[in-house]
């Protein structure tokens, strides 16, 4: 989000804020490529193809799952 302030026609101030991974959703990786074997009993069937096997680390800057960033920009 950005909010711009215009003081004169020449001077401008922009204040912004950003949020990364605000909903704490895991970044998945390492998808399985092993083909599934058909089980004669459909209730005992397991599926592994295309399922994620790892999670990407969520340490962004502050070593937490969410990160906030604020800043300002002055134009003249």
- 8 against 58, higher pLDDT: 8
**pLDDT the model gives residue 74:** 95
- Whether pTM exceeds 0.85: no
Whether 6 and 67 have beta carbons less than 8 Å apart is answered as no
pLDDT tens for each residue of 19-76: 887 787 777 888 888 888 888 998 988 888 988 888 776 565 555 667 788 999 999 9
Give me the phi and psi of 56, to 5 degrees please: -75, 145
41's tokens: 């009993």
| Secondary structure of the chain as H, E, C letters | CEEEEECCCCCEEEEEEEEECCCCCCCEEEECCCCCCCCCCHHHCCCCCCCEEEECCCCCCCCCCCEEEEEEEEEC
Q: What's the pLDDT at 59?
A: 60
């Amino acid at each position: 989000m950005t909010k711009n302030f215009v003081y004169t026609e020449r001077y401008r101030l922009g204040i912004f804020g950003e949020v990364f991974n605000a909903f704490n959703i895991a970044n998945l990786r390492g998808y399985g490529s092993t083909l599934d074997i058909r089980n004669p009993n459909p209730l005992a069937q397991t599926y592994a193809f295309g399922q994620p096997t790892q999670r990407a680390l969520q340490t962004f800057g502050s070593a937490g799952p969410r990160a906030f960033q604020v800043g300002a920009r002055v134009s003249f």
